Amino acid sequence: MATISLYFGKIPTELDSEQVQDYLFYLQKKSKTPSQTYFKHTVYGLRSLLKSEGLDYDFLQLPNIKHEKKLPVVLSKQEVWAMLQKAKLLKHKILIGLLYGCGLRCMEVRSVRLQDLDFDRKQLKVVQGKGKKDRYVPISGHLVRGLKKYMEAEKPSVFLFNGQPNGRAGGDFDSRYSQRGVQWVVKEVAKAAGIQKEVHTHTLRHSYATHLLEDGMDIITLKNLLGHENIETTLEYLHIAQLESQRIFSPLDTLFEQCSPSLK
């Protein structure tokens, strides 16, 4: 409340509704990326003060904040293949394979247990993913073979990916792979593959969704595989996917085809 008092040189209860709205507009324009949380505290703080003084506060609503709309980074299939080839450890290959081949979030890949894997049906049960919902996703036969080889070599007990030794006697392991560990692997493998794009764990999930659309999967099935609660979230991938029915191209392609002497 101190900032608005300093701005007008009077206490908030002496301000009229237009002055308060002017101040909120000023805050919104003051920063290129205004904080939603800061606005909430400001608006709700003013509402609480006016209410306690018996003054009208209904005019105070949370301002509509426009956020930048950014499309996610998507890897080509060749770039994903390069990452799988450049991953030196089998554990890292399997990790990349699950993130991309099953479209898992970072928390989900860390939480995969041995009991969630069904090799006979080629399915993975994602337990309590985002939104606290279970879902099943298909596992590629290539990944099944890799998983069996990895499990035979590493012999995990509960979680598919063990964490680092915790320093206790006997070399016990923490329950599962750390978030930082997963992120490090993805970054290092992408770097080794010579990928210039900004690659995060979620980049592989974005690539999974985009490539499935391009391979002909319908949007509803994709929504269920991704575990999205709202279809609007899944529809964003239609802005990225290069669908055959909506094929886009550069006019330079047709220019060279129609005008290049070497092609005539």
- Residues belonging to the active site: 105, 130, 202, 205, 228, 237
- At residue 113, the 3 state secondary structure works out as strand
Please compute, for residue 18, the number of CA atoms within 13 A of its CA located in the half-sphere on the CB side: 0
Among residues 175, 199, 205, 206, which one has the least CA distance to residue 112?
Answer: 175
DSSP-derived secondary structure letter, 173: B
218-226 long-range CB contacts below 8 Å, 24 or more apart? 224/135, 225/103, 225/135, 225/137, 226/103
Give dist(CA 249, CA 115) in Å, integer. 46
Starting at the earlier edge strand, list the strands of the sheet with 117-118.
Answer: 117-118, 123-126, 135-138
Among residues 87, 176, 179, 103, which one has the least CA distance to residue 138?
Answer: 103
